[in-house]
Amino acid sequence: MPKGGLQTFVGFLARKICNGTIGEFLIEFMENKVKHSTRTSTYNNQIFMTKKHLLPVLGNKKLKDIKPFDCYFYESMAVF
């Protein structure tokens, strides 16, 4: 996170959202939030499922370009 106050942080987040992919966001979220708030086995299972199912389909899509249809399309493909 950049130093320099709230305005700098907001700019940092805006750039990250505009330029980042869903895959980058998911991995960063998993490593920085989920990993530290769940048991190791839960984290390992969730990261495995994310890498196996979400990243191949949505991982390269830009965060700013995600649409509800993308989520619906992914859900319609899900086979559990």
Report the alpha-carbon distance of residue 60 to residue 24 in Å, rounded.
8
How confident is the model over 49-64, as pLDDT tens digits? 999 988 998 899 998 8
Q: What is the pLDDT of residue 4?
A: 64
Instruction: Map tokens 């086979």 to a residue.
Output: 79
Neighbour tally for 26: CB within 10 Å = 19
Distance of CA 30 to the CA centre of its chain: 8
Do the beta carbons of residue 23 and residue 60 sit within 8 Å?
yes
Tokens of 59: 């991982």
Pairwise CA distance, residues 43 & 36, whole Å: 9
pLDDT along the chain (80 residues), means of 10: 66 77 90 91 93 89 86 66
The whole-number pLDDT of residue 48 equals 94
